[in-house]
Amino acid sequence: MKRNILIAFAALAFTTAAVAQSPSQLFKAAGSPVNPKVAVVWNRYYDHAGLGEICKKIAAAYPDLAKFETIGKSYEGRDLWLLTITDFKKGGDPNRKPGMYIDGNIHSNEIQGAEFALYTAWYLTESFADTKFIQELLEDKVFYVVPTINPDGRDSYIHKPNNASSPRSGLKPVDNDGDGLVNEDTYDDLDGDGNITLMRRKNPNGRYKIDPKDPRNMIQVGPDEKGDYELLGIEGIDNDGDGRVNEDGYTFEYDPNRDWGWGWQPNYIQNGAYKYPFSFPENRAVMEFVFKHPNIAAAQSFHNAGGMILRGPGGIEDVGTYNAQDVAVYDAIGKKGEEFLPGYKYLVVYKDLYSAYGGELDWFYAGRGIYTYSNELWTPYLMFMKDGSRDQFDNPTYSFDRYLLFQDAFVPWKEYNHPQYGKIEIGGFKKNFTRAHPGFLLESDAHRNMAFSVYHCYSTPKLEVQEISEKDLGDGLKEVTAVIANQRLMPTHSSQDTKNKIERPDYITLSTGGKVLAGMRVENRDLNLTTEQQTNPQTIEVPNIPGLGAVTVKWIVQGGGKYTVSVDSKKGGVATLTK
């Protein structure tokens, strides 16, 4: 009885502590929600179920701003969560607003992409009430946030023994070692701590020695020195006796970011490619969602690591695909991102990194005409907020763990009696460090990357019918001229879009009590140069409304009355003016 009372009291105390503080006790920090309805701690990582719970809570707390659903299932049957974020009460049909698509965690071990994507949805909803900019943004735009598009791999990474680089994909059926069994093992966790670290063995002829400045570190000896240790590689066992450790787990994996339907190459050319484009069910679900939402004008995919704002092309063969007009838009947004993402560099995949075919980045842009970036999250710059970390510390990663993480990220070396190698030592960095953000930097960098996505979304088209004017031509005829302006950087159609006719033209329609006899695009208003549209003159089709620019159209109308000009653009949204 007494024990039950103590348990109940402890539960009550925990519940009380979890309740949000009284507003009278709080003082708002600039740029942060002061008393969020959905209290999320952003200094940790959540598995797939945890992400889903946060999504559900956001949608329940803000039904006028967030809708929760799934866009499909993973290979193992997990839901691909989606949060649609917009002002559902203002701005009209959400699917007619210019859209920003965000996803993360396509690679299993690149986990913080999910938190960064979800932080964006959380921040927009929690900041809406007292931030005018967010109110105006969500009236005009819609965000489609899919936190993880690889939930199988995410849960495998979090709940099974792994190192920082494994696994990369979701676990597809692969017989890595040719024994007739598929995916039969993950890595061998010798000490049972959930981390796969390194193995070393004392050897008087070894090529490594203990770093005298930090005994946790191993350094290679010079050509005229003798070492004390040999490194045996990652922690594990040679399961099938072929001399290789842990190949039963993840030696070869299909890469979901080599599966997209642009520039796709088979596995013998592009390592990691699966059967055919969109053979991963997760990628296919994203593809189908994008096709159903032609209003998506911008996209962001979060990866790790390296501190990069990446754009395509992935392969040099596609250099001509990214033409000058579109590159100018990419450059303007990417270089702005460098300003508020410390340590991040704006780069081009094939030029500054390597060639990659069948990537999400290229499919979104080249296949659908959507301006898309992949941010590679986490950079060592963030450890000491300077590029010259190696000038201050011999090994900044070890120093950062020592002085700021208090050696929490490192498994100390300890002896282990290996069944094949005899007496060895195992130790090294845990799987939650070197690629993933440490907790205290997670929210800070999530906020900055969220701000980059918001800036990207803000740059999508915003249309306005700026002018309607009438000129009397005599004999009951009127000339009606309209100017439609685009107040943002992005055009309503990328050059890739117009070149390949990916999306239909923009429609500009005149509604009036009179009869529309002719409709035309105005090429030069000063010189009265026009191009007449031969059919359906009431609705003029224009191939593009340029960013920070305008188009002018003209109609000849018999009769008079009020005029209503309506603009309908798939990626630019809608606008109307009556005069």
Structure tokens at 258: 């080599």
Q: Which residues fall within 8 angstroms of residue 256, CB to CB, at 6 or more apart?
A: 106, 107, 149, 150, 169, 170, 280, 282, 283
Write the Ramachandran bin of 399: left for phi over 0, alpha for psi from -120 to 50, otherwise beta: alpha
- Give me the amino acid identity at 577: L
**503 belongs to the catalytic site:** no
Question: Radius of gyration of the chain from Cα atoms?
Answer: 28
Q: Which residues fall within 8 angstroms of residue 539, CB to CB, at 6 or more apart?
A: 507, 508, 509, 510, 519
The DSSP code for 487 is -
Q: Given CA atoms 64, 68, 69, 70 in this order, what sign does their dihedral have?
A: positive
- Helix (H) / strand (E) element for 300: namely strand 296-304
Q: Given CA atoms 117, 122, 125, 131 in this order, what sign does their dihedral have?
A: negative
Q: Calculate the CA 547 to chain-centre distance.
A: 24
Q: Which residues fall within 8 angstroms of residue 387, CB to CB, at 6 or more apart?
A: 343, 381
CA atoms within 13 A on the CB side of 444: 13
Q: Given CA atoms 472, 476, 477, 481 in this order, what sign does their dihedral have?
A: positive
Catalytic residue among 376, 443, 464, 523: 376
435, 445 in Cβ contact below 8 A? no
Write the Ramachandran bin of 361: left for phi over 0, alpha for psi from -120 to 50, otherwise beta: alpha
267, 253 in Cβ contact below 8 A? no
Distance (Å, whole) CA 514 – CA 445 = 57
Structure tokens at 223: 């050509």
172 burial type by CB count under 10 A (0-12 exposed, 13-18 middle, 19+ buried):
middle
Could you list the active site residues? Answer: 376
